[in-house]
Structure formats: C-alpha cells, structure tokens
C-alpha cells in the first residue's frame, strides 16, 4: 500500500532498540519519516538522529508538542512509559510504546484512558505478534484448526545479560515474560486468566536473588476457558535467542519459533551442525520493522493492528500476579479486573 505523504514520527529514547527503530523509520519502512529523536543523555539523540538527517533534542516534551510530529515512538526506560503515553495522547499524537506500557495497573489505566479520550491510536511493542511464524500460528488458531485451546506454551530464552547487576527487581516478569504473557493471551483470544502460579530463582547470578533479581522462571496460568498455559524464561541461553510458542487443543496443535539462524545445514565427521540465532534484532528484524509499519498505517487509518493498551494491561496483570505468587509462595487467583485476590 502506498500512502501519499510519509508519516512523520518522533522517537523518544536513543538506546539500542531506539537506534534500531530510528533506522527502520528512516530507511526500512516505506512511507515513514524520522523527524526528531529525543533523549536526556547528552549526545545520545544526536548520534541516532544525525545519520538520517533528523533533529535531536534533550527534551521529550518538546518532541511531543512539535506540530511536525504525527506519531510518537517511545523506547525510553520502562518506568517512564506511562507518563509519556499520557502526555503524547494529550497532545493529540498517535502513540507506539515499547513494552511494558506501564508498571502498575493504575498507570496502565491512565494510559489507556488518555488515548481513548484523545481518540489517538495506542500501539504497544509486542513484536512477536508481527513475527511471520507466530502470526501464521495464531491465524491457524483463529481458523479453528486447533479447536478449543487446552495447553499453551510460550518461552523466552535470552543469550545472556552482560551485567547481571543491571537487572531490576521483577524484570523477568515485567519486561521479559510480559512478552510471553501477551503471546499466550493473544493465542487464547477471548479467554481470561483466573489462576497464576510462578516458581522462580536466580540460577545464573545467585548473588542477585535478593530483592527479586530473578533470572529463571516458570509460570502456569489457568484461563477461564479451561486452558492451562506455561510461560518460561531464562537469561543465559548460550546457544542464542530462543523464542517459541505452542497451542494444543481439541483439534490439533500449532508451534512457532525456530532457533536456527538460517536453513543452511552442515554434516561432518562429528555429526550434523547448524548455526543458531544470536541477536534479538536478527531473530525479530522483520517483526520489529513490520510493527512500526503497522503503526504508520494505524496513524492514517485509525485501525491498530498490533497490541493495544488493553492488551498491555492484561499482560501486566499477569506479571504482577507472578510477583504476588512468588512472594506468597502459592497459587494466586485473579479477579475480573486482573487484580490478585485475597
């Protein structure tokens, strides 16, 4: 689809994923233009903006109110997300925000309300929804090919955190497994979680266990349609990024995710060998690009194709339930509003 004039976007946050988004907006996506990059760290926005002829700013507020900006892409640290979503929405800008959209349900509700009041599109960066294999798997589920879902699985294994000390408390649930929670909710569309139990530990970096600095977790979720789902994460996959999903139901099963870097295969005296994917942006290059292309379409059409604010809230509710389950050491029940009961 060709859009007559490019969609003008501003980017907040010039870290690694911000830099990748900047290049996508400027170079990989037809019909988008990178107007401004904002980051409070001196020089950071400049480094990302300059190669594409975009402006750089230290101040996100300026970017948000800039009339040249039609949509805002937020890839700053997680704790800043909700306030930026609210500010951008109130300024009448379409919003794409990296996960997690918020760290509390109150903040998630504020963000959703602000976008709804302003009538602007609000899309959240659950990029797996745009990965071709995950999208194909979900299409089969929606087509009824697996029947009623009964068992689901989603896992994230990360090749390793350079600096374990940088892991924030509950990051494994709030920033990593939140991807899996969205995937599970999306695969099991229309159902709501009613029970959650999480077992977790600091196996990679045991010294950081205190205060919730966990690196290994298994979460089981019971949904109100009877389905049982497992989400799993770990931060030390030496073989590369490993992201997989599975939906089993009364009529069949779908799986998605492939650890191999390419389809090339080698067979030698020691057996069969293949290269594995090492970088998140290699594994999900297409998904990261397509989710922003969809955002550009959303700005023109008003239709959000990816995860919405409500989806981000639902995934967050599961992350918060995991924390409660770990702290209580037991199964927790969720109310209709996604809050932990009792």
| Window 137-176: residues binding a copy of itself (CB under 8 A) | 137, 140, 145-148, 150-151, 157
Select from 210, 272, 303, 337 the one that contacts a copy of itself (CB under 8 A): 272
Within residues 76-135, the interface with a copy of itself by CB under 8 A covers: 132-134
- Residue 330's contacts (CB-CB under 8 Å, 6 or more residues apart) are 197
Query: 325: how many CB neighbours lie within 10 A of its CB?
Result: 22
Q: Which of residues 250 and 301 has its CB atom nearest to a copy of itself in the complex?
A: 250
Within residues 46-75, the interface with a copy of itself by CB under 8 A covers: 51
11 binds a copy of itself (CB under 8 A): no
Select from 164, 276, 300, 340 the one that contacts a copy of itself (CB under 8 A): 276
Q: Which of residues 50 and 68 has its CB atom nearest to a copy of itself in the complex?
A: 50
Q: Say if CB 120 and CB 197 are below 8 A apart.
A: no
Separation CA 307–CA 175 (nearest Å): 15
Q: Which of residues 207 and 270 has its CB atom nearest to a copy of itself in the complex?
A: 270
Nearest to 88 by CA among 105, 110, 104, 106: 110
Separation CA 43–CA 58 (nearest Å): 9
Within residues 220-249, the interface with a copy of itself by CB under 8 A covers: 220, 222, 226-228, 230, 232, 234, 236-240, 242, 248
Angle between helix axes 309-328 and 177-187 (nearest 10 degrees) is 120
Q: Minimal distance in Å, beta carbon 252 to a copy of itself?
A: 4
Binding to a copy of itself by CB under 8 A, coded x per residue (else -) over 177-216, reads ------------------x-x-xxx-xx-----------x
Burial 95-128 (b: 16+ CB within 10 A, else e): bbbbbbbbbeeebbbbbbebbeebebbbbbbbbb
């Amino acid at each position: 689809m060709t859009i007559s004039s490019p969609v003008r976007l501003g980017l907040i946050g010039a870290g690694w994923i911000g830099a990748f988004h900047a290049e996508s907006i400027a170079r990989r996506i037809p019909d988008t233009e990178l107007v401004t990059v904002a980051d409070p760290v001196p020089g950071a926005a400049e480094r990302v903006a300059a190669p594409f002829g975009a402006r750089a700013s230290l101040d996100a507020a300026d970017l948000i109110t800039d009339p040249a900006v039609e949509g805002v892409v937020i890839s700053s640290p997680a704790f800043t997300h909700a306030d930026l979503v609210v500010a951008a929405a109130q300024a009448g800008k379409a919003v794409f925000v990296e996960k997690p959209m918020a760290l509390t349900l109150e903040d998630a509700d504020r963000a959703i309300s602000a976008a709804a009041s302003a009538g602007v599109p609000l899309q959240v960066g659950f990029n797996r929804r745009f990965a071709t294999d995950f999208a194909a798997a979900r299409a089969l589920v929606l087509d009824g090919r697996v029947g009623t879902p009964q068992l689901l699985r989603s896992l994230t294994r990360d090749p390793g955190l350079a600096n374990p000390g940088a892991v924030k408390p509950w990051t494994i649930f709030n920033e990593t497994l939140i991807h899996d929670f969205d995937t599970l909710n999306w695969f099991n569309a229309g159902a709501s979680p009613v029970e959650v139990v999480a077992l977790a530990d600091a196996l990679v970096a045991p010294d950081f266990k205190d205060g919730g600095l966990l690196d290994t977790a298994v979460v089981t979720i019971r949904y109100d349609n009877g389905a049982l789902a497992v989400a799993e994460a770990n931060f030390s996959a030496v073989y590369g990024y490993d992201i997989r999903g599975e939906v089993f139901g009364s009529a069949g099963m779908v799986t998605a995710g492939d650890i191999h870097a390419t389809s090339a295969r080698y067979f030698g005296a020691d057996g069969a060998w293949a290269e594995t994917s090492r970088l998140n942006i290699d594994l999900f290059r297409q998904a990261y690009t397509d989710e922003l292309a969809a955002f550009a379409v959303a700005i023109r059409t008003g239709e959000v194709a990816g995860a919405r604010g409500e989806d981000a809230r639902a995934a967050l509710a599961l992350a918060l339930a995991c924390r409660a389950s770990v702290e209580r050491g037991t199964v927790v029940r969720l109310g209709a509003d996604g809050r932990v009961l009792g």
